[in-house]
Structure 1
Amino acid sequence: MNIKKYKNYLFLLPFIFLFLILLNWHHSIGLSIDDLFFYTIPQETNIMSFVIERYDIWSSRILIEYILCHILQSPLILWWYLDSLIFTFIAVLTYKLINGENKLFYSTLSCILCLSFIFSSHYALGSAGFITTTINYTWPLFSGLLAIYILKNHAAKDTCKTKRILAYIISVLCLMFAVNNEQLAVILLGLFVLYYLLNYKTKINKKCYLIGITSVIGIINTVICPGIHKRYILELRWFPDYLQLNILNKLNIGFSHIINRCVTWCDLTTLILLGIIAICVYLLTKNKKQTIISLIPFIIASGFWILTLTDNLTLIQIMNANIVRYGYVPISIKRMILSLTIYAIFIIAFLYSLYSIYKNQKSVLWPIYSIMFVGFASTIMFGFTPSTPSMERMYIFFYYGNMLAILIFIKQIIEKRIKT
């Protein structure tokens, strides 16, 4: 028996365990909320007629909802297995994007961070029914990652023509499904624009234009969709004063909610990212003062997290009292001073940490900062829609971006510094 041969496949074990964990979790999930609505559609009308009508009165996600309706007509066990596989392959594709030398370490880390991503997104995933939300958000995420992986690894000039054509066809199909989610379309376009601006003086990878073009198509599809405009009018009933808001008010809504989320209701993945950033600062600078400053965001977020676990919510309630549907609105001088001081310390320390890392490791950080920036900017989009009930779901891509940033930080900085 060739033991060395089998050692080369050890990195697959974490993904197998991840799939089994996810499958066990999925067995406890049934139909709820919007799942029940889409489940009954074929009993009343043809699925194609339904999605066309939805395009006219409500949503531009015609591809996503077509697949959603068909999945809901199948036995529930099919979604259990498919969704478990898709989350597992999100971990696999993330691992492939990192491409670390220590395969077992990075496959294990990718699986652990994928679980933290699911844990962070758990409430959001169930907010409209798990089946509906995963097919609307995590399935397009998987499709986008798969397209990027295929373009990166199977569309090179040295690949045979047939395989190259097939790679492009699969990539286009995956991207079209991915950008049918309007938020993901904006994220992919944002990443393409940043990539172009940072590389236009050098050679631009032409395959990236495919991502940019499909993202524009996805955004155009959303803009021209008659249902989006009709839905906008209907959703104003949830937020009748929305029409009175100017662009600064909308930015206030988006910015204040995401900052408040990172400070007072920090998810597990973001908390890990804050800790990793502090470690990177220490490894790059070996400076205690800079390290202590970089630890401040992690300490603040951890402190509030501990308060939520102990049900000691007084300080959190004081902080949240200023965050309303209109964004940050000071309620009293004392509360305003307290909350703004905490936010300011958090933001300044966080930006200082990123600057310290950038100053010492410029060459490898643009992908990380681009991912973090676009993920953060995508959540600010919340301020540009009156759809307040769907707010939680808009953080799903932000959580994944933080997961990916953690892995790149570890590969590009922590691993290299430990070796040296």
Structure 2
Amino acid sequence: MKLSREKGYWVILGSIIVIMTIGQVVVPVMGDDAFFINQSFSIDWVVSRYQQWSSRIFIEAILVLISKQLWLFRVFNAIIFASLLDLLTQSSFGRQLKGLFLVVIFFLFLPVTLFLSAGWLATSVNYLWPITAGIFVMKQLDKTVTAKTLLWLSVLTLFATNQEQVCITILLLLLGKLLFLVVTKEKIHYVHYLVLGLTVINVGLIALSPGNQSRQAQSIPTFFPEFAQFNLFDKINLGISNTSKMLLVQQNMLMLFLITLLAVFIILYGQKLYIKCLSVIPLLVVPINIILVTLIHNGYTIQSFSQYLIEKQSSPALSQVLQLVSTLLTNDVEIILNVGFILILLCILLCLWEMSQSLSLPYLFTVGFASHAMMGFSPSIFKSGDRTAFILYMIIIYAILSILTRFYNQTAVVDSK
């Protein structure tokens, strides 16, 4: 009976696989694709890459192997992409057609560079595949697993967490969940410890890789010479600034959907007046953020504006206030932008908590934010492009689906009355 109800769902999902498999034929080899296609796989090659360039030994091993059979890559890539759609749909609406259509529509709003910035082949295997594997692993933690399933779960965990952002994301989600289980005195399944242990192994591989250190040393003079002078605060500031720009300044329709739906839901169904007021703030401050970023990009600072007022002999009191502010805020307008963004983020987190009546969704959104902000510690933060926001985009889509699910449930309750 269940299979019969889901027949249309699987037909559409299968059609997506077929269409995507065929459509990938016209995608050209670009970026890093050519490099991996021309490599020959061997253990020595993997060791050399770990020593000289990257800790992604499991990911790049598969990347080199599958690059020799592009037809096989296209089939696998289509299946994995469809699996990601299925995982997101199943997590919100269950396997229903309306949920699948919504997920597909939201994916159409993702920037194309999310999949192409390093080449279709390289970006897919380095981002789409481990992120999908990571979502699957996290969904299996509370399920009963067999010995065969446990083996596959271990393989997928090692593969997924070999990607740095996925590794940190899964580590934070696992630690958060384990803390929750300890506080609530619930039973912790041994699979949690297995996944945590395998994740820690990859944390060690990433931290100790001479290749990662070598790549960073080579990237600084090439992509971001000023990065060599950055301290810890500068790197955190850089990560927050870049993430705030991606979420609230660029033409990010998904983020606009999220804050709009969240505000509407809280206003209609929220119980606390102050939360209702906070829900509107993210919608109001976006134009202000756009103005501030425009000022930064054009070289305007608090000091220059204050000096302008003094030269024009206009509003001396305001110029003195601005001089005081500029003394306190050594990083100019960018600090204001980041402080404002953090306040907006807090508003969003409070609204997500009010909407879901749980800390899990706000925590997930925070981890997603951290997965992108951590790029502030990489000199290739701007060179990497949109693909580093892949995890955050998936969490935004999941949050939107969660809000729509709550809308649907609230409507069903009203109709039943």
The question of a shared fold, defined as TM-score above 0.5 by the shorter chain, is answered with yes
**How do 1:128-167 and structure 2 match up within 5 A?**
128-155=118-145, 164-167=146-149
1:60 aligns with 2:55: yes
Distance 1:403 1:20 in 2: 24
- One-letter identity of the residue aligned with 1:112: I
Please state whether the residue corresponding to 1:237 is helix, strand or coil.
Answer: helix
1:395 aligns with 2:363: no
Distance 2:355 2:165 in 1: 33
Gaps of 5+ in 2: 309-325, 327-331
TM, length-normalised to structure 1: 0.80
CA contact (8 A) 1:300 1:346 kept: no
Please state whether the residue corresponding to 1:415 is helix, strand or coil.
Answer: helix
CA contact (8 A) 1:93 1:145 kept: yes
Distance 1:339 1:220 in 2: 34
1:377 aligns with 2:370: yes
- One-letter identity of the residue aligned with 1:170: W
CA RMSD of aligned residues (A): 3.3
> What are the Cα deviations for residues 264-304 of structure 1, in whole angstroms up to 9, with x where unaligned?
11433322222222132123227899657524434655x69
| Counterpart in the other structure of 2:71 | 77
1:113 aligns with 2:77: no
User: Displacement of 1:211 after TM fit?
Assistant: 2.5
Please state whether the residue corresponding to 2:26 is helix, strand or coil.
Answer: coil
| Counterpart in the other structure of 1:220 | 204
User: Displacement of 1:129 after TM fit?
Assistant: 0.8
The partner residue of 1:203 within 178, 186, 190 is 186
Gaps of 5+ in 1: 156-163, 306-312, 324-328
Q: Quick one: structure 1 residues 17 and 304, their matched pair in 2 at CA, closer, same or farther if it must change by over 3 Å?
A: farther
Aligned residues: 386
- One-letter identity of the residue aligned with 1:232: Q
Q: Quick one: structure 1 residues 294 and 224, their matched pair in 2 at CA, closer, same or farther if it must change by over 3 Å?
A: same
- One-letter identity of the residue aligned with 1:103: Q
- One-letter identity of the residue aligned with 1:352: C
**How do 1:285-324 and structure 2 match up within 5 A?**
285=270, 291=276, 294-298=279-283, 301=286, 317-318=294-295, 320-321=297-298
| Counterpart in the other structure of 2:347 | 352
The partner residue of 2:39 within 38, 41, 44 is 41
Distance 1:291 1:110 in 2: 27
Distance 2:392 2:108 in 1: 15
Please state whether the residue corresponding to 2:54 is helix, strand or coil.
Answer: coil
Q: Quick one: structure 1 residues 13 and 115, their matched pair in 2 at CA, closer, same or farther if it must change by over 3 Å?
A: farther
| Counterpart in the other structure of 1:243 | 228
Q: Quick one: structure 1 residues 350 and 284, their matched pair in 2 at CA, closer, same or farther if it must change by over 3 Å?
A: farther
| Counterpart in the other structure of 1:276 | 261
* Residue identity (%): 23
CA contact (8 A) 1:319 1:339 kept: yes
